[in-house]
Structure 1
Amino acid sequence: MPQQIDHIVFDIGRVLIHYDPNLPYSRIISDEAERKWFFENVCTHDWNLEQDRGRGWAEAEALLIERHPDREEHIRAFRKHWHEMVSHAYEDSVAIMEALIAQGRDVTMLTNFAADTFVEARKMFPFLNKPGGVTVSGEIFLIKPDVAIYEKHARDFNLTPQATLFIDDSYPNVEGARAAGRHAVHFIDAPTLRKDLAEYGIALP
């Protein structure tokens, strides 16, 4: 028998919108090996995650420029060309989210996102304004998969954890949601998500 699901929570990056730093950097650093080195040693995933945790870009850039003064232009390009990294929406995933909203379901979002770039994302992708609300990591200085961010989201939007289904492309974030007492599915693609929702008794047109 399917679990009772009253709340559906979407991640955003790589679930609803595409994100790939290589999009602008394939032009900025054309050599593939050099670009790979840059992302592994300068503008790393862990460095960028601290902006999702709430660190400002000025501090983030200054930190790296002190370590890599010869790379200042490339470091500053990360924020300057951020909008190119979120090149398009995943229309089939967005359609699922909008269908759930149209059914009257309680849909919110929980995302690891820098506060200022999320403001830009909402302008670029107006459908991000359709759910009942969003928790943005950079605004509250907490990031997934920390259990505290799931708990704050539940408090802020009056969610019952055991009746909540969380959707994320990052498996550690899925595990974090489960550790916080939620149901969670690992996002692969829209057809798989439809099947996952059906297993929870959530039918879509």
Structure 2
Amino acid sequence: MINTIIFDLGAVLIDWNPHYLYKTIFDDEQEMKNFLANICTPDWNEEQDAGRSLQDGTDILVAQFPEHEANIRAFYGRWQEMLGEPFHGTVELLRRLKDSGKYKLYALTNWSAETFPVAMQRYDFLSWFDGIVVSGTEKMRKPASEFYQLLLNRYGVNINEALFIDDNYRNVLAAEKVGIKTIHFTSSEQLEKELTEQNLL
């Protein structure tokens, strides 16, 4: 019997994409893609999600790629421009789950502790959660098993009564290894279908 539902945030409820910013900086799309694939990479960004300061992360790249300094500094200097609209379909599902009164709702997110307060101010539905565990604050991130366990322990969640939803299959597999039931998110329509099939909606 599921009584606890744990959501990832980025690409599930919140549309965050560096392309939104860098399309305004680069005239050439391939140049932009090369920059994000080789300089301000997802792996580099995840180190900030794991607790490294934005300043330290930026300084490391500027030292490595001084010719790209302005564009590197834009990543966090203009970070808000990477935030898009909420995924309204998923937000509506979250509202329905909340309004049912049947579930404890938590978020487990890989996110910098320094930028997360911006999201909290921007997206009011984040206040609907009973608790949010932010990787940058805890200095650990998905897919580390300890990060999932931290949420379970902090909120007294029975692992057999929990469901975890994430768009990143790596993180879904890690949750399953811990023993948490999962849904691999691909769209709000797919999530609604799976939640309905499991009699959770």
Q: Secondary structure at the match of 2:24?
A: helix
Equivalent residue pairs, number:
200
* Structure 1 residues 44-63: aligned runs within 5 Å: 44-63=41-60
TM-score in terms of structure 2 length: 0.97
- 1:85-133 C-alpha deviation (Å, 9 max, x unpaired): 1111011100111111111111111000001111100001011111101
Q: Aligned to 1:189, which of 187, 190, 197?
A: 187
Q: Aligned to 1:160, which of 158, 161, 164?
A: 158
Segments of structure 2 that go 5 or more residues without pairing to the other structure are none
- 1:124-155 C-alpha deviation (Å, 9 max, x unpaired): 10111111010000000111011110000001
Q: Contact 1:5/1:200 (CA < 8 Å) preserved in 2? A: no
Counterpart Cα distance in 2 of 1:175 and 1:25: 31
Q: Aligned to 2:110, which of 105, 109, 112?
A: 112
Q: Contact 1:15/1:169 (CA < 8 Å) preserved in 2? A: yes
Counterpart Cα distance in 2 of 1:180 and 1:30: 45
Aligned to 2:62: 65
Segments of structure 1 that go 5 or more residues without pairing to the other structure are none
Counterpart Cα distance in 2 of 1:122 and 1:69: 33
Identity in percent: 36
Q: Per-residue deviation at 1:34? A: 1.2
TM-score in terms of structure 1 length: 0.95
Counterpart Cα distance in 2 of 1:61 and 1:80: 10
Cα-Cα RMSD: 0.8
What amino acid maps onto 1:155 in structure 2?
N
- 1:182-205 C-alpha deviation (Å, 9 max, x unpaired): 0000111111101111232212xx
